[in-house]
Structure 1
Amino acid sequence: MDDEDVCGDACGECIVMCCGGGDTHHHHHSLSGTTAAVSCCCLLLVVLAVAALLVAAYAVVVPVRVTIDDAAHGRLALAAPASGTNGTGSAAAVSYDLSVAVVLHNHNWAMSVWRRGPLDAELRFRGRTIARARLAAAGRGRIRPLKMEVYRLNTAAEGAPVELGPDAAAELARERAAGVFDLELAVFLEVHYEAHPRRRAIRVTCPLRLSPSTATAPAAFARVKCA
């Protein structure tokens, strides 16, 4: 029997033994002269399996997911529209007090994710921006594999000028009377996945349906997935 046949037979026997199949007592005699070859073959299979697993882990990117895990507003009130327009509608004075927990999830089980640049957010009503905020300054915030990072937005203003327009202003007044507001939070950032040199932009919108909340009577809120 030449070396090639021995190696082939050994690898075949190795696969049977490593997978736990067949009668190991029956194969004992045929493997007695090729113990070293079988050991090397089993080791090779393990190395190949680990290599394939690592390639899959680092080649396939699971995008960062953004959720809103908590949100509350103490006030969202509309004052009388200010005089004059600037081409986008009447400027209204809006008072608000809002708190939001923005969560970045890294669902990759092997790769870390680095946040590149700032993490910004915009609070919107009917497509009109009510407030802008920076949740995190430019830097290299790291999200470890299968972990998440929470960024808290706390924003408030008294009589801030907002270009709502007559239709959006009327809708805001109706929702205030009903006690339920339909808002949006837009989130912007760039991330860098480990072993992937290219930066990737994330632009998502998170729908928020909020009722007034107080310290003694917090309104219920269910996690929101952003898309």
Structure 2
Amino acid sequence: MTIELVGFDGDDTLWHSEGYYQHAGAEFERIVGAWIDIRDAAVRTRLHAVERRNLALFGYGAKAMTLSMIEAAIELTGGAISAQDIHRIVALGKTILEHPVELLPGIRAAVETVAARHRVVLITKGDLFHQERKVEQCGLGDLFHRIEIVSEKDERSYARVLAECGVAASAFAMVGNSLRSDIEPVIGLGGWGIHMPYHVTWAHELEHGVERGHPRVITIASAGEITDAVARCG
């Protein structure tokens, strides 16, 4: 079947994102390190555990990470951390929310080329205000048939988008960096996944059930390969 609709992920597919979260995580370690021996505390592991615990309540994004950093800092220090350092953690969250939107190399040309041949949709998850700001500043919004900001990228979310677009899953290809969020739900519905790994990935997104060599998953190294990958689907 010919591909009728192509989806693009936002964070770390169209624009850089995870690096800012990684930087905030490193700064968080330095703040907490003034209160405990971080060599023995496994700070990143503890922070990730708090984030996972809070996903159902806070969702994804910078605000959720900030709240989880505050909670983890209080837990790790036994409540000893100062109000001043809590304020520093809040400031870290603000730096993520305010970071510039920088497109990945070659992505503008790739989206323009695909959009000239197919309907394209942007499907991204995270905090609504933050994602809307990124879409506005990325300069690509006018290329998309529709823009979907979802709380979770699962089969139900993708199935809803496909139904509203009137497209069968087998005629849909999704481009993204996360096997868990961008690829696994789509191939579970019978669609195609174009996996473009980013150089760093949040630990939660590393957990997936995509088998190596899946016949409907194409792995590429850069945006310049997207057009050819879409042509190979279907």
Q: TM-score, normalised on structure 2? A: 0.25
Which protein has the larger Cα radius of gyration, Structure 1 or Structure 2? 1
> Higher strand fraction: Structure 1 or Structure 2?
1
Q: For CA contacts below 8 A with separation 6 or more, give which structure has more relative contact order.
A: 2
